[in-house]
Amino acid sequence: MSASPAARRAIWRGTLAVVFSACCFGSISPLTVVATERGMALESIQTWRYFASAVLVVAYGWWRPPAPAAGLSPWYRPRTLLIAGGGQAIVATLALAALRWLPAATASFLFYTYPAWVTVITAVRGLEPLDGSRVLALALALGGIAAMVGAPSAASLSPVGLAVILSGALVYALYIPVLSGLQRGRDGLDVARAICVGGTLCFATWSVLSGTLFAIPDAVALGASVLQGVLASGAFVGFLAGLRILGNVRTAITSTVEPFWTTLLGVVLLAQPVGTGTLVGGAAIMGAVLLLQRPVATLPTRSS
C-alpha cells in the first residue's frame, strides 16, 4: 500500500531533522581538536560544551513551553537527568577514549557500526520489521563510511581500543531506544533539556574531580568549546524530532551522513583534496537515506 502524501511529508521532515542534527554533530570534531591543541582538557571542553547547550535549550523551553506530560515525572527529576545525560556522557567518553589506541578514521568506522546494532536489537525485540530495503540501506550506509574513512585492518587493531569503541557503539545503540522511550508521552524539548543538563552535571563532576573545570588556556579554546554547545543544542533537538517520526532504525542509519559532512568540512575549511572514496562514500550514504524514505509497516504489538 502506498503512503499518503501526509505520511511522505512527515518522513521527509523527520529525515531533514536528522540530517540537520548529523551535520551539527559532524561540525563538533574540528572544534574539539582546536580546543585540545591549545591545551584544554577533554572533560573541561565537554563541560563547557554541555553547559552552553543547556543554557540555550532551557532558555528555549522558557520561551516555548512544551506541552505538559500527563502522568510523567518532570524532565529535571534526578532519575531522568541520570538516564538522559548519563547515557550521553558514557557514549561520548567511550568514543573519545578509544582514540588513545585507535586512529581517528578507524575509530569512526567502528563507532558507526551502531546502526547495525540498532537494526538487530530492534528486530529481535519485535519493534520494527527488518525487510530487504532496510538491510540494503544499512549495507549502503556502512559501505559508504568504509569508502570514506577506510575499512579497518584487523591485524593493526588494538584489542583494548577495539573493545572500547565497540562498547561505545553498543551503548549508543541501546541509548537510542531509551531516548525513544523517554519521548513517549513527553515533548522532545523536555528530553533535550534532560540530556543537556544531565550531561553538564556529569562532565562538571568529572572536571571538578580532575581540577580542570576552570583550566581554560585562552579565549579561542573556550570559544571553540562554547560553539560546540551551540551546535549540539540544535543537534539534540533535531535528532529527537526526527527520532519521533522515523523510529530507531531509520534515525540511526540516516545519521550516518555525519562523517560525510565532516569530510566536506575538511575540504572546505582545511582545503583537503576530494578523493574517490569521498565521492563513492557520499553517494552510497545518500542512496541509503533516499531508500529509507519508503514507509514500512509497524509490527503488531505483542501482548505481554
Q: What is the pLDDT of residue 221?
A: 93
Q: What is the pLDDT of residue 299?
A: 45
pLDDT tens by residue, 212-247: 999 999 999 999 999 999 998 888 778 878 887 887
CA distances from 282 to 239, 250, 274 (A): 20, 17, 11
Contact 44, 207 (CB under 8 A): yes
- Grid coordinates belonging to 122: 530492534
Residue 240, Cα to own-chain centre: how many angstroms?
10
User: Among positive and negative, which fits the CA dihedral 127, 81, 26, 160?
Assistant: negative
Q: What is the mean pLDDT of residues 6-28?
A: 84
Contact 259, 26 (CB under 8 A): yes
pLDDT tens by residue, 162-199: 888 889 988 988 888 888 788 777 777 788 889 999 99
Backbone φ, ψ for residue 35 (5° rounding)? -70, -40
pLDDT > 70: what percent of the chain?
81
d(CA 23, CA 26): 5
Q: What is the pLDDT of residue 51?
A: 94
Buried residues in 191-211 as b, exposed as e (16+ CB within 10 A) = bbbbbbbbbbbbbbebbeeee
d(CA 167, CA 171): 6
Backbone φ, ψ for residue 66 (5° rounding)? -70, 165
Q: Which pTM was predicted?
A: 0.74
- Asked if residue 298 has pLDDT above 60, the reply is no
Reported as half-sphere exposure (CB side, CA atoms, 13 A), residue 70 has a value of: 0
pLDDT tens by residue, 46-99: 999 999 999 998 888 888 776 666 566 777 788 889 988 999 899 988 887 787
